[in-house]
Amino acid sequence: MKHVAVIGAGPAGMTAAYQLSKAGYSVDVFEADSQVGGLSKSLSLWNQTVDLGPHRYFSNEKRINELWLEVVKKDYVMVDRLTRIFYKNRFFFYPLKPFDALLKLGIWEAIRCVLSYGKYAVFKKPIETDTFDRWVTSRFGKRLFEIFFKTYSEKLWGLNCEQIDADFASQRIKGLTLFGAIWNALSAGKGNKHKTLVDRFAYPIGGTGAVYQKMADHIEENGGKIRLKSRIVGVNTLQKKVTGLKLADGSEPVFDHVISTMPLTHLVNSLPSKPKLVEDAVASLSFRNTILVYLEVQNKDLFPDNWLYVHTPGIKCGRVTNFRNWSKDLYKSSAASILCMEYWCNDTDEIWQLGNEQLGRLAQEEIIKTGLTKDSKISNTYVVRVPRSYPVYKVGYKSHLEPIIDFLDQFDSLIPIGRYGSFKYNNQDHSILMGLLAAENIIAGKKIHDLWNINTDDSYQEESTIDETGLSSQRELTPAH
């Protein structure tokens, strides 16, 4: 029996471990945290359940949905999505509903936006799309970019939009254009399968983390082990063959395969004999931190959105999640709403150094400034710090990844996956797919999937979506290349 180690209990790692345990492999999952789920874990807070910010699950890929339903079974609800941009005390639908946005901006600002878009859409003015600002401008015009994309993106990354690679836009906004948004509005979304525009999604009862706890239960039932509070400091190798792990407690267990979802930079730094080119490439990659400040607000009717993007100048918070608007089982009988304020920063930023009390005060001051709490009492605050939560897509990052990938591919039986492990800005469904395919590579005994080349829009077999009854809208697809 092959013995497999999985580093990290997030969506990618847990999916790989779950699939391997079903296939009869001996699996040990090592997680530094006290619970499974990674960035998709759920927390109990003030007699309610919350996630680490908003975690919407949606996929068009049949295999991913089948796996998700296999784990969750009937323990989910369908949630109507409402997400808006909060800008200068006004709410704008996101994805943008052009008529709504132009009306609320006022006649003169609306004219500026239309003319700006026309420069590229009507007159076909050529524009490079290698950076985030150019990519968005080519599809929405410069003025809409400045209003609805620039501020938020610079909060998230801590970079000017000229320094952000276009991959961020292509993965998150994908093929959406102003014309596409207008057409979607006119057609009331009929036939739409564009992830950015999806207005309903499946949500597990018990929070997003319930999916991965169910996987953990199944793994342990099959004889696998979930080793919580187990920090990995490195991977042992012998002549480019992975032999096991180095744990913080000094132990060095032996394994036949290692699936790693630990930050790619940490993994590479733990390996021996790195060429100078690889060391320099690793030093050039970085991750962005997240600070989550939860507020217990004594009001159950604040605003109807699942989450809001905060574009208002002068507000450091980038996103506010209202867990009252997800699933009733999250708040149970409580009359209070829990809001989650998100702040993004680097290790060297002043906000990362603030104490929890200071962060709690900052979040309270900012939410009151927005008027979103309607003068309601804020009775509690709670802070969660998430280091290295976003791989930074700085211009040129792909050229740094190339020598790292070449170096890691030399090691037999080492499989890096997940948002951290592959340095990709994954959604949940994308990480689940990577875990599924990593398991298939091990089971096949050879590399049948190139995991580095999996993209968020890949389709492999059949297309489907999840509704109240399970899978629906199935159709055959041509495999993506």
Residue 11: is the preceding peptide bond cis (ω within 30°)?
Answer: no
The CATH number linked to 349 is: 3.90.660.20
Structure confidence by residue, pLDDT tens digits, 12-56 = 999 999 999 999 999 999 999 999 999 999 999 999 999 999 998
pLDDT at residue 169 tops 50: yes
298 and 383 housed in the same domain: yes
Q: Is the pTM of this model over 0.85?
A: yes
How many Å apart are CA 85 and CA 94, to the nearest integer?
Answer: 6
10-14, 402-406, 445-449, 455-459, range with the lowest pLDDT: 455-459
The answer to whether residue 98 scores a pLDDT higher than 80 is no
3-state secondary structure of 137: helix
Residue 314 lies in a domain: yes
- Quote the percentage of the chain above a pLDDT of 70: 89
Question: What is the arithmetic mean of pLDDT over 174-190?
Answer: 53
Q: What is the largest CA-CA distance in the chain?
A: 70
Helices within 187-340 (DSSP H only): 209-221, 264-270, 276-284, 328-331
Average pLDDT of the residues in 64-68:
95
For residues 173 and 222, membership in a common domain is answered with no
Last residue of a domain, one of 158, 174, 198: 198
- pLDDT value at residue 55: 92
Residue 475 lies in a domain: no
Same domain as 367, residue 235 = no
Q: How far apart are CA 27 and CA 442, in angstroms?
A: 12
- Residue 317's SS3 state is coil
Q: Of 178, 198, 218, which one is at a domain's C-terminal end? A: 198
Mean pLDDT of 425-437: 93
**Distance, C-alpha 373 to centroid of its chain:** 27
Alpha-carbon torsion, ordered 102, 105, 111, 112, to 10 deg: -120
Give the three-state DSSP class for 354: coil
Terminal C-alpha separation, the chain: 34
Dig out the tokens for 72 from the structure: 């969750």
- Helix, strand and coil in the chain, % to nearest 5: 40, 25, 35
| End-of-domain residue from the set 198, 221, 256 | 198
- Look at residue 247 and give its three-state secondary structure: strand
CA atoms within 13 A on the CB side of 46: 19
Whether the predicted pLDDT of 414 surpasses 90: yes
340 and 355, same domain (yes or no):
yes
Q: Which amino acid is at 459?
A: S
| Domain shared by 333 and 242, yes or no | no
Whether residues 92 and 221 fall in one domain? no
Q: How many domains does the chain divide into?
A: 3
State the Cα–Cα distance between residues 46 and 58, nearest whole angstrom.
28
pLDDT of residue 123: 67
33 located within any domain = yes
Q: How confident is the model at residue 479 (pLDDT cuts 50, 70, 90)?
A: very low
Q: Is 412 in the same domain as 378? A: no
Q: Which among 203, 79, 192, 98 has a CA at the least distance from the CA of 141?
A: 98
Tell me if residue 211 falls in helix, strand or coil.
helix
Confidence of residue 177 (pLDDT cuts 50, 70, 90): low
The answer to whether residue 108 is domain-embedded is yes
409 and 335 within one domain: no
- The reply to whether 409 falls in a domain is yes
In a domain, 472, yes or no: no
**Quick one: average pLDDT of 311-335?**
94
Query: Nearest Cα to 223, choosing from 472, 409, 25, 446?
Result: 25
Angle of CA points 329, 331, 333, to nearest 5°: 95
Which is higher by pLDDT, 8 or 149?
8
What confidence tens digit (pLDDT) does each residue in 243-290 have?
Answer: 999 999 999 999 999 999 999 999 999 998 899 999 999 999 999 999
Task: Say if residue 193's pLDDT is above 60.
Answer: no
* 93 and 194 assigned to the same domain: yes
Instruction: Report d(CA 118, CA 135) in Å as an integer.
Output: 15
| Domain match, 308 and 220 both | no
Residues 6 or more apart whose Cβ sits within 8 Å of residue 89:
312, 370, 371
Residues 56-81, mean pLDDT to the nearest whole number: 93
Q: Which domain holds residue 382?
A: 287-391
87 & 194 share domain: yes
pLDDT averaged over every residue in the chain: 89
Q: Indicate if the pLDDT at residue 113 is higher than 90.
A: no
Instruction: Report how far apart, in Å, the C-alpha atoms of 345 and of each of 91, 156, 353, 442 are.
Output: 25, 8, 10, 37
User: Residue 379: inside a domain, yes or no?
Assistant: yes
Residues 6+ apart with CB under 8 A from 463: 60, 61, 62, 193, 473, 474, 475, 477
What one-character-per-residue DSSP string does 12-28 give?
HHHHHHHHHHHTT-EEE
- The pLDDT confidence band at residue 351, using thresholds 50, 70 and 90, is very high
Interior angle at CA 180, CA 453 and CA 184, nearest 5: 115
Q: Are 149 and 136 spatial neighbours (Cβ–Cβ below 8 Å)? A: yes
State the CATH number of the domain containing residue 429. 3.50.50.60
Higher pLDDT, 99 or 329: 329
Residue 186 has pLDDT above 70, yes or no: no
Is residue 51 domain-resident? no
297 with 155, same domain: the answer is no
CA dist list (Å): 144 to 141, 149, 459:
6, 7, 31
User: In terms of pLDDT, which residue wins out, 108 or 77?
Assistant: 77
